[in-house]
Structure 1
Amino acid sequence: MSVTFELKGPVGWITLARPEAMNALSRDMVEGITAKLVEWQDNPQVRVVAVTGTGRAFSAGADLKTAGAPAQPGEKDFLDKIVDLFDTMRAFPRPVIAAVNGLALAGGLEAVMTCDFVIAAESARFGDAHSNFGVFPGGGGAAVLPRKIPVNIAKYLLFTGDSVSAQEMKQYGLVAEVVADAELIDRVQALGEKLAAKSPLVLTKMKRVADESADKPVADALRHEVLELRNHQRSYDIQEGLRAFVEKRKPEFKGY
């Protein structure tokens, strides 16, 4: 399947392990990652998910050698499978971090954009690249990239097929941090453990409100936030957090 899964403490790691093909996504890889995410979303031990690659690429996108293979009647084709994967990644109820180790192109960039934020190695590069092969994006290249970075820069990447550095993508807002290549995994693991110590209930609610806010007027987004807070006031975690504050100790959140 060319992808590995490992639970390091509270952080579930998904590692694309097909370096000879620049971690191009095959049908088996896509199906396997989707199934693991579905499994992990029901596992309270997995507080954070991190996605990375091996070799010089995070992912060069879909495996074009097999992407066009027709599906059997009544079965989903490869595009359906990719859409399912990206929808599952976006909807994962807890934080998902992209640990971008190298080239993130085409579907690889689209996969990055499904994550909540991006930590990139200094050598990482980002590009859409679909136009280089006469392929139209189907996982968010044209639809989501202009929501993540300035529209004119998104169009530049879409039209030219060129790639830009991690530092440039940090300036444009897609990348949260750029770290030395050798420090990437340790940094993301430490960040994942930091997030795991917080209330998973709070992070889930924050993620939901933040994800939905862009498609709402400000007044509706604020109303959603207040409604979530009203509901959250009934939770164990907020009471535990307030008790810990008063007692000057570290809170022990339970996620309900």
Structure 2
Amino acid sequence: MSEKTGTSDAILYERRNAVALITINRPSTLNALDMATLAALDEAVARAASDEAVRVVVFTGAGERAFVAGGDIADLDSRQGLPHYLELGERLHAVFRRIETLDKPTIAAVNGWALGGGTELLLCIDIRIAAASAKFGLPEINLGLFPGAGGSQRLIRQIPLCKAKELMFTGARIDATEAEKLGLINRVVPDAEALPQALALAETIAAKSPLVLKLLKRTMSDGLDMPLPSSLRHEQAMIGLVLDTQDAHEGCKAFLQKRPAQFKGA
């Protein structure tokens, strides 16, 4: 059963076995992000992070029209530079960074529009499964703005630079097929299958060692900011840590004994 977070119904939280499902629940505004929604989202992510029973986190939007259609434009229009930086901007960056650095794998089930802050949220999520009708884009330039929730920096690190510039300079929207070609999403599925396939993938990943997944995710994330020789030494050190885990030896024994491994995160 879904539960709202804290005193807000803008974010629904549900645990299905080892998978936490976080739903942005403002369908009347196409799941736009405002301060209250961001606070509830932060609370939900913190809850998933602290729950040892949760091994994978799935994000989606309520309704069929939008994952997250962006920020609250009326709220943006009410702000000047310093209040935006100290309030909304700081909250956006903090919440998105928490998602990006979560020690558990994350998956997005993208239904409908993922524009502006919706695309920026996707850039913080590990794996992205999109409905065929999904649309993506960073249209901030059309408002006299530019992506300010990490999009101007994360997108250029995830797709070709010339394509990232074109998307941000024009504010163009792209469909799911084009997003897959660019490498912005992992795959396109029929509309009704986005969430079921995301949850099925989450269950598959949740069966792996949560401790090794955490160390693997850290190894990849840290390595992105290092020169290759340094990142390879980092990998060497981290795999040494993995070989000290019980899960690594359980996995090896299970393979030799031709049985399923029982990973316990130790």
TM-score bucket of the superposed structures, by smaller chain: over 0.9
Distance in structure 1 (CA, Å) of the matches to 2:239 and 2:122:
30
1:28-67 alignment, distance < 5 Å: 28-54=36-62, 55-67=64-76
Q: Distance in 2 between matches of 1:197 and 1:114?
A: 23
Q: Secondary structure at the match of 1:208?
A: helix
Structure 1 residues 75-115: Cα deviation after superposition (integer angstroms, max 9, x where no partner): 95111111111011011101011111111111111000000
1:195-246 Cα deviation digits (max 9, x unpaired): 0000111111111111122221111111111100111111110011111111
Tell me, what secondary structure is at the counterpart of 1:115? Answer: coil
Counterpart pick for 2:22 among 2, 5, 14? 14
Residues 44-66 of structure 1, C-alpha deviation per residue, up to 9 Å, x if partnerless?
Answer: 11111111112311112211222
CA contact (8 A) 1:4 1:16 kept: yes
Q: Which amino acid aligns with 1:61?
A: G
Q: Which blocks of at least 5 consecutive residues in structure 2 are unaligned?
A: 1-7
Residue matched to 2:130? 120
Of 203, 206, 227, 1:193 maps to: 203
| Whole-angstrom CA distance in 2 between matches of 1:161 and 1:69 | 22
Bigger Cα displacement from structure 2, 58-67 vs 174-183? 58-67
Q: 2:247 is matched by which residue type in structure 1?
A: D
Which secondary structure state, in structure 1, belongs to the residue aligned with residue 129 of structure 2?
A: strand
Structure 1 counterpart of 2:92: 82
What is the aligned partner in structure 1 of residue 236 from structure 2?
226
Aligned match of 2:158:
148
Tell me if structure 2 keeps the 8 A contact 1:117–1:174.
Answer: no
Q: 1:172 aligns with which of 152, 172, 182?
A: 182
1:215 equivalent to 2:242? Answer no
Structure 1, unaligned runs of 5 or more: none
* Structure 1 or 2: more helix by fraction: 2
C-alpha separation in 2, matches of 1:164 and 1:69: 29
Number of corresponding residues: 255
1:206 aligns with 2:216: yes
Write the distance in 2 (CA, Å) between the matches of 1:196 and 1:97: 12
TM-score for the superposition, normalised by structure 1: 0.95
CA distance in structure 2 between the aligned counterparts of 1:179 and 1:15, rounded to whole angstroms: 19
Aligned to 2:5: none
Tell me, yes or no, if the aligned pair for 1:141 and 1:158 is still in contact at 8 Å.
no
Matched residues in 2 for 1:188 and 1:92: separation?
18
The one-character-per-residue Cα deviations of 1:150-171 (angstroms, maximum 9, x if unpaired) are 1111111101111111111111
Q: Does 1:248 align with 2:258?
A: yes
Q: Deviations over 1:19-78 (max 9, x none)?
A: 1211100111101111121122121111111111123111122112224458xx9x9511
Q: Distance in 2 between matches of 1:185 and 1:41?
A: 21
Q: Name the counterpart of 1:183.
A: 193
Q: Does 1:25 align with 2:25?
A: no
Contact in 1 for aligned 2:11/2:44 (Cα 8 Å):
no
Q: Kindly indicate whether the alpha-carbon contact (under 8 Å) linking 1:199 and 1:255 is maintained by their aligned counterparts in 2.
A: yes
Aligned AA for 2:24?
Answer: L
* Counterparts of 2:54 and 2:201, CA distance in 1: 14
